[in-house]
Amino acid sequence: MSNPAKQTRAPIPHLGRRVLWGVVVPVTVTGAAFALVRSWLPRLPDEVALHWGPGGVNRYGSVAELLWPLRGFAVTGVVVLALFTLITGRTSFIRRTVLGTAAGLSVFQAGIFVVVIVTQLDLEPGGTPASIDLGMLIALGVGLSAAALALATAGKDPRMPASGEVSGAQAELRPGERAVWIRRVSPGPKVLLWGALAAAAYTALMAFTAWISGMWFTLVLALLPVLLVATMLVWQVRIDSGGLTARSSLGWPRLHIPADEVEGSKVRQVEHPIGEFGGWGIRASVMDLSGTVGVIIRKGEALEVLRTGDRRTVITVDDAATASALLNAKAQRSRTP
Amino acid sequence: MLFRIDTSSQRPLFEQLAAQVRRAVLDGELADGERLPAARELAESLRINQHTVLHAYQLLRDEGLIELRRGRGAVITARSAQRYQRLSEALDAVRQEARRLGLPLSAVATMIEHPVEETA
């Protein structure tokens, strides 16, 4: 851009919270789990259970064979997510997601680590360890709670009213005239039908597996993605004097861009959802991880909103030209009271 | 779709809203089975009374253009656009004729609203 102030990007907000939930909590929890397990090593049998299948333990091996992969996963997860918390999070949605994942995953992984070891303490060589199902369920519950807590306290975006010209075409609004633009976005009926069929088949398969193996814990875990996908399929986009609000049909997730933080908007095409956003749903851009959020429901016509603080939002929606013109007009209005 | 209301206009707000839905159906912008925004949401966004929106929706329901269903809200009735087919054609004819005579459409609208008394 020609504006020299644009050369340096605005700082990502809430550094303290990001470091707390993205670095301090995961490192502390993982470190504590490592230390605890280390102190338990003398109480473990020479040969321990390594892998659990539908019929219980199906592979045994040395203690080192059990510990190193678990440590590897835990450390990799913590490092990757700590990195993400430091370089992303301009918008509260991304910040909440990343901090929730970092805190939740580290607690869950530490839980698995502890559960797998604690069930095998003081076991006779060749003895069968107690079931890990309950422990896993507890680890999942605590992990999800930690994620929810981090999500809730990741912090709102600070208010950053825009100044200067609104970029892009504006709808003409007479004084005394009020306008709202509301539109639903959903995948095509074909995609919806196949999606529903696939989800039903997947759910049935997982329930059947859980039924014959008696491992209900895996069912809970397996159905989480289905719920997650379902929340992301159908969206409603609304533009009024408050700005732009996009929410999934369940009410959450929800994105809001206040009119006075809009620098401008335009119509564009999203040709490669996978290439640009890594897929469909609400997601961060692959190209601009820190600042661009996409609500990508399908390919094609989309509304792109430039927001203060180097933030950008892309929403695939029909009739984006009308939406853009109205949003720009509302942005202009919010600057001239 | 886009809803606009003009608070300074003489026309009642519910009528302004209903007219826009009618036109969107005629233009094909609102397809059969499509859902209109919830009355509460529309009212909030336009900063008007929710009953004004409901009034407009009830008017459209009485015209057979939409159905009001509990839980699903206002849905465009199947083949609603076809109901207006003949009126739409007649309006096209009127517009053409007005253009031929050089009459502004607002004058034509007045003639429609206040028909000249038949004097035999």
Provide the residue ranges of all domains of chain A, joining segments of one domain with +.
4-152, 181-187+233-335
- Model confidence band, residue B120 (pLDDT cutoffs 50, 70, 90): very low
Return the higher-pLDDT residue of A254 and A179: A179
Mean pLDDT of A192-196: 84
Return the higher-pLDDT residue of A157 and A55: A157
Helices (H) and strands (E) in chain B, counts: 6, 3
Q: Find, in chain A, the residue whose alpha carbon is nearest to that of B34.
A: A184
Helices (H) and strands (E) in chain A, counts: 9, 11
Mean pLDDT of B102-112: 89
- Model confidence band, residue B112 (pLDDT cutoffs 50, 70, 90): confident
Site from A174, A180, A247 to mutate, B interface, most B CB atoms within 10 angstroms: A180
> What local confidence, expressed as pLDDT, does residue B27 receive?
80
Q: Which of residues 71-100 of B touch A (CB under 8 A)?
A: none
- For this complex, say whether ipTM is above 0.85: no
**Secondary-structure breakdown of chain B: helix, strand, coil percentages, each rounded to the nearest 5:** 55, 10, 35
Predicted confidence (pLDDT) at residue B19 exceeds the cutoff of 70: yes
Q: Find, in chain A, the residue whose alpha carbon is nearest to that of B7.
A: A176
Neighbours of B47 (CB within 10 A): 12
How far is CA A243 from its chain centroid? 24
Predicted confidence (pLDDT) at residue A332 exceeds the cutoff of 90: yes
Predicted confidence (pLDDT) at residue A254 exceeds the cutoff of 50: yes
Inter-chain touch B6–A177, beta carbons under 8 Å: yes
Return the higher-pLDDT residue of B58 and A218: B58
Return the higher-pLDDT residue of B85 and A321: A321
Least confident range of A148-162, B53-67, B83-97? B83-97
pTM of the entire predicted model: 0.80
Average pLDDT for chain A = 88
**Helix orientation angle between A63-87 and A25-40, rounded to the nearest 10 degrees:** 170
Task: Output the CATH code of domain A181-187+233-335.
Answer: 2.30.29.30
- Could you tell me the strand order of the sheet in which A243-248 lies? A254-258, A243-248, A235-240, A177-185, B2-6
Neighbours of A334 (CB within 10 A): 19
Token readout for A136 is 């896993």
Instruction: Return the residue matching tokens 């909103």.
Output: A305
Instruction: Return the residue matching tokens 């075409």.
Output: A169
Predicted confidence (pLDDT) at residue A206 exceeds the cutoff of 50: yes
Chain A residues lying within 8 Å of B35, measured CB to CB: 184
Distance to chain B for A77, nearest Cα, Å? 42
Under 8 Å CB-to-CB from A13, ≥6 apart: which residues? A89, A90, A95, A155, A157, A158, A309
Nearest-angstrom CA–CA distance, A255 and A236: 11
Predicted confidence (pLDDT) at residue A285 exceeds the cutoff of 90: no
Predicted confidence (pLDDT) at residue A312 exceeds the cutoff of 90: yes
Inter-chain touch B7–A176, beta carbons under 8 Å: yes
Site from A178, A236, A239 to mutate, B interface, most B CB atoms within 10 angstroms: A178
Predicted confidence (pLDDT) at residue A133 exceeds the cutoff of 60: yes
Chain B residues lying within 8 Å of A181, measured CB to CB: 1-3
Predicted confidence (pLDDT) at residue A5 exceeds the cutoff of 70: no
> What local confidence, expressed as pLDDT, does residue A54 receive?
67
Cβ atoms of B53 and B39 within 8 Å: the answer is yes
Strand blocks (E) in chain A: 47-53, 56-62, 177-185, 235-240, 243-248, 254-258, 262-270, 281-284, 292-296, 300-307, 311-316
